[in-house]
Each structure stands twice: as C-alpha cells, then as structure tokens.
C-alpha cells in the first residue's frame, strides 16, 4: 500500500480539475481539496474531507463525482457521487421606495426611514436610454430595483457630438432641445416607478462637449433648478467623472472643478461631490477635497490584483479612506472593480459582495456596482455576474455601520485575535495569510471590524482554507455565510477560547460582549 501525504495526494472532482464547474470554496486550489500539512494516511487508514463547493449558475440536478488523485500521476480508488439539486436563486421583490432627502449623520446616510447603506450601480448611459431606448432603460431599472439597489450613477453629458469616439451612438448632449425634460423625466421615472434615486455625475468628456466655464456653470444651474422639488429623488451630485481626463486638466482645471463643486454645494441641500482624485495618494485626495468644497468624496479605489492578495486586494482598499478624515469628507466607493471594468475586472460574486461589505465596515456608506454593461448600455446588466447577489448580504449589514468605531484585527481592542497559518503549518497570532507569502496555508486577507457600545461586527475576507480566531473579551456571537445569509454557527466564548471558520471565503460575525 501507499501512504497518502501532503501535498501530493488530494481529493478532486472528476472531469473538473480546474474547478471551473464545481469550485471548492475557501481553497486556494479551486479544483482540489488538500490534506493538511503534516497529515499522513497509512494504508487501510481513513480520512474525512470537509468541504463546500459552488455549483453551476444554471439551476438543475447535477451528479458531481469525487475521487482521490495522486497529483501529476493518476486518479485512483473508488468514486463517490451524489445528486445535487441547484435551485433558482430566490427573486427579491421590487425596491421599497425610501423617502425624504438623503443627508449625512456622522458617516452614515439618513433619510426619513433612518440610517442606511446605499447600493448603487453604474448606468452612465441612462439619459441616452431615456431619450432613445426607453425599453432598454426600463429593463435595466427593473433589474436594479428587484435586486435591492438604491440608486444608479448617470452621466449628465458625455461623448463628442462632432467627431468619432467611444461614445458614438450613445452621446448625451446638453444642447438637445429637450435636454431638461430628459434629465427631469429620468429622475422621475427612476424614483416614482422603480424606487431608485440618481447620482448625477454632471460632466464626462467635458473637454469635447462643454469646454467653456460659463456653459458648465449654466449646466450646474440647470441641474439645481431641476432638483428643486425632487430633492428626495437624487442621492447626490458629482461634478465630473475623473476630472483630470474629462475637461478639468492641470492646476487651472482642478481649481475650476473645486469652484464648481463649492458653487453647487452652496446652493442645494442635496449632497455634492467634486470628482474622483487623479491618484490614490493622500495628497491627490486632499488636492480635490481640502477646504470643505464638497459633502462626499467619490473615490475610485485601486484595482491592482497583481500583489500577494491577488483578486482580494481591491476588496480591502476602502479601509484607508478614514485616515484622511476629517480633512476630507465621508467617502463613496464610486467605481470599484467589477465585471468588465478597465485595468482589471472581477466576475466572482463572492468578491463583489465582499467589496460592498468591506466598504461599509470601512465607514463608507455608499458602494457602486460598476460593470461593462453600465457604461455604454450595449450589454444587458441582467447578464452581469453578481448583479443579483447583493440583496441578501446587504441585509446582514447594520444600516448605521459606517458610523461605528473601526477596529482592525491586530489592534489590541479589536473584538477578535486572528491567526494565520504559515507555510510550515504554524499558527501565527495577529497575522493575515498574505504576511506569509503565497505558501501560507490558512487565515484571512483581512478581518476588519466595527464596534458600537457592546455590539460588534467583524468581516474576515479572503479566507484561505480556514481561519482560527479567539475573542479578546467574553462574547456571544453568530457567524453568517454572506452570500446565502445563512447562520452557520453560534458561539458563547470566554476570552481566549479559539474557534475555526472554514467552508467559505468570507464570513460575517455579529455579536455582543458579555
């Protein structure tokens, strides 16, 4: 007989070595379940594999088959299989219309229903759709409404009306004779029929379609006039999308952007943002938002996936924004990595959902689902990965979480001490697996948390295989798998009692100190 040892002997799904169809969850090797380092299974011995898999997106009955594999040599032994039923995802109902003007309360958004976290979606083309393709627009609004979205981000102007560019056939032109009616009509349709507010980003391609300062001020006045009596229908204004490449380049352009932002802020109670900064450094953000020119800072966080954390790195980026406050206002995760986004894209629903939750744990109350379909509107947003995945996990997050006190896992007063498992199988306290390189066996990319009195909310994300944790104080808490919203464990532990979480790549932990 042969002794099974790590890392040569694994459990795999027959015919799916890459994990494309049946991905092993919480595994850095999606097509395999590994033994633990140091495990040695002698001939005649037994070993129990515990794992979860993510099945195909299409509902139906499947019969996956598992078998042992000597990696690079052969599959061997008997196969084990079972029928697995994939049911259609439950369809959430239409978005319940929230009422009242959106305002800030500490770091949280608040309206007449109270404090809330706002889920948005890019729909740059919406004004074009209102004028030229109402059925396509309303289909998109229906998708957003039924999947728990609160608002969408639309451009006020974009494209070169006199020359060829990316926006050919989708231009939005402030010179249209019915332009004011289009802007007002879209705002009314979205809110009155679908319960969706609008984030109006006034200017895209400003250097092409509205280069003169006087015209830009007139455009701001037009939106201010339209907004009167519609304050509850607009979540906030933004002056320009990525100002440095949309008509506000150089020091003079930045000064003009800031002036226009302050101009609108001084003339409306609707929240106003200036634009995404030109880079991710603190000074880039200060350059735009210093001096109280805006109520909200719309940030486009780094999408780089080439570092140790891989695709989990963009998920954790919003945590840094709070260190810039109060010099800059509360943030919005306004154009994060998403399906078909530029620089890098993300199609995994678990990471898209994790990015939303990580945003709110980071004291940022707004997250925008940014997809290729949301840019030009030549693809259906209903077909974008993850668009239907947010409603359930959104319900796990307290509406005022953005105003709780942040606690990173390695801080002495955080709710839990977290352990990484290094390449040698050793538990390392107050550590995350990226600290130990790509060979790390376990832990999380981050485990951000918030506290509010005796309540706490902790979000381990990017879990590799498993994470070992212990409360720093006596505590009672529940653990949820965020995609399904299912409670997977409940604990009542004393300080220092360890527990393990496995079987998912992220967990929501909600509880109280005793």
- The DSSP string of 93-109 is -PPPPP-S--EEETTEE
The CATH class of 405-513 is mainly beta
Neighbours of 507 (CB within 10 A): 24
Q: What pLDDT, on a 0 to 100 scale, did the predictor assign at position 92?
A: 52
User: Cα separation of 450 and 398, whole Å?
Assistant: 11
Contact assessment for residue 318 and residue 280, using Cβ atoms and an 8 Å cutoff? no
Q: What pLDDT, on a 0 to 100 scale, did the predictor assign at position 222?
A: 99
Q: What pLDDT, on a 0 to 100 scale, did the predictor assign at position 25?
A: 54
Tell which CATH classification among 3.20.20.80, 2.40.50.140, 3.30.70.420, 3.90.79.10 matches the domain 117-400.
Answer: 3.20.20.80
User: Cα separation of 436 and 242, whole Å?
Assistant: 36
Distances (CA, A) of 174 to 182, 197, 209, 406: 10, 21, 8, 43
Rounded to an integer, what is the distance from CA 133 to the centroid of its chain? 29
* Strand boundaries in 225-357, DSSP class E: 234-240, 272-273, 297-299, 331-333
By CB neighbour count within 10 A (0-12 exposed, 13-18 middle, 19+ buried), where does 57 fall?
exposed
Q: What pLDDT, on a 0 to 100 scale, did the predictor assign at position 95?
A: 63
Cα of first residue to Cα of last residue in the chain, in angstroms, is: 53
Contact assessment for residue 354 and residue 315, using Cβ atoms and an 8 Å cutoff? yes
Report residue 77 as tokens: 């032994």
- Ranges of each domain in the chain: 4-86, 117-400, 405-513
Task: For 67-90, give one letter per residue: b (16+ CB within 10 A) or e.
Answer: bbbeeeeeeeeeeeeeeeeeeeee
Report residue 378 as tokens: 């030549």
Q: What pLDDT, on a 0 to 100 scale, did the predictor assign at position 342?
A: 80
Contact assessment for residue 365 and residue 334, using Cβ atoms and an 8 Å cutoff? no
Report residue 142 as tokens: 């229906």
Closest CA to 336 of 364, 362, 317: 317
Closest CA to 227 of 195, 268, 178: 268
Neighbours of 285 (CB within 10 A): 22
Contact assessment for residue 174 and residue 122, using Cβ atoms and an 8 Å cutoff? no
Name the strand (E) or helix (H) holding 313.
Answer: helix 313-316
Neighbours of 331 (CB within 10 A): 28
User: Cα separation of 198 and 187, whole Å?
Assistant: 7
Neighbours of 42 (CB within 10 A): 9
Mean pLDDT per 10-residue interval, the chain, length 514 residues: 85 76 63 79 86 69 87 89 71 74 99 98 99 98 98 99 95 98 99 98 98 99 99 99 98 99 99 98 98 99 96 98 98 98 92 99 99 97 98 98 99 99 97 97 99 99 98 98 97 98 98 97
User: Cα separation of 500 and 493, whole Å?
Assistant: 13
Contact assessment for residue 68 and residue 77, using Cβ atoms and an 8 Å cutoff? yes
Contact assessment for residue 312 and residue 288, using Cβ atoms and an 8 Å cutoff? no
């Amino acid at each position: 007989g042969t002794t099974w040892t790590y890392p040569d002997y694994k459990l795999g799904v027959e015919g799916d070595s890459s994990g494309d169809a049946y991905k092993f969850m919480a595994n850095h090797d999606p097509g395999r379940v590994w033994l633990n380092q140091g495990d040695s299974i002698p001939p005649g011995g037994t070993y129990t594999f515990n794992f979860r898999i993510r099945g195909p997106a299409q509902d139906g009955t499947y019969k996956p088959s598992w078998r042992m594999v000597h990696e690079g040599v052969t599959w061997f032994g008997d196969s084990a299989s079972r029928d697995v039923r994939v049911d259609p995802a439950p369809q959430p109902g239409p978005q319940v219309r929230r009422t009242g003007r959106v305002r800030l309360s500490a770091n949280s958004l608040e309206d007449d229903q109270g404090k809330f976290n706002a889920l948005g979606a890019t729909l740059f083309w919406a004004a074009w759709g209102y004028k030229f393709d109402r059925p396509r627009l309303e289909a998109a609004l229906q998708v957003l409404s039924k999947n728990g979205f609160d608002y969408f981000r639309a451009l006020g102007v974009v494209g070169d009306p006199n020359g060829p560019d990316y926006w050919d056939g989708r231009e939005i032109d402030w010179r249209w004779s019915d332009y004011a009616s289009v802007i007002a009509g879209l705002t009314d349709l979205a809110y009155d029929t679908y319960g969706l507010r609008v984030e109006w980003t006034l200017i895209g391609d400003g250097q092409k379609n509205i280069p003169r300062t006087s015209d830009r001020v007139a455009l701001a006045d037009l939106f201010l006039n339209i907004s009167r009596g519609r304050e509850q229908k607009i979540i906030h204004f933004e002056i320009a999308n990525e100002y440095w490449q949309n008509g506000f380049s150089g020091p003079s352009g930045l000064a003009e952007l800031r002036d226009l932002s302050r101009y609108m802020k001084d003339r409306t109670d609707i929240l106003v943002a200036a634009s995404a900064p030109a880079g991710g450094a603190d000074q880039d953000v200060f350059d735009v938002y210093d001096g109280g020119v805006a109520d909200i800072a719309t940030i486009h966080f780094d999408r780089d996936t080439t570092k140790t954390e891989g695709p989990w790195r963009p998920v954790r980026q919003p945590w840094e924004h709070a260190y810039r406050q109060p010099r800059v206002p509360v943030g919005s995760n306004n154009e994060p990595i998403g399906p078909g986004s530029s620089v890098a894209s993300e199609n995994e629903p678990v990471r898209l959902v994790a990015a939303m939750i990580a945003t709110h744990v980071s004291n940022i109350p707004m997250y925008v689902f940014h997809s290729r379909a949301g840019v030009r509107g030549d693809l259906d947003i209903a077909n974008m990965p993850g668009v239907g995945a947010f409603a359930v996990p959104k319900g796990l997050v307290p509406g005022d979480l953005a105003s709780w006190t942040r606690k990173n896992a390695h801080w002495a007063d955080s709710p839990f001490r977290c352990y990484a498992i290094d390449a040698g199988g050793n538990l390392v306290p107050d550590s995350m697996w990226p600290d130990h390189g790509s060979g790390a066996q376990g832990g999380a990319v981050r485990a951000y948390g918030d506290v509010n009195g005796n309540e706490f909310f902790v979000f381990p994300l990017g879990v590799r295989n498993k994470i070992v944790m212990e409360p720093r104080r006596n505590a009672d808490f529940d653990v949820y798998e965020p995609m399904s919203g299912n409670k997977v464990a409940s604990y009542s532990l004393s300080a220092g009692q360890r527990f393990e979480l496995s079987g998912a790549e992220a967990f929501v932990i909600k509880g109280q100190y005793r």
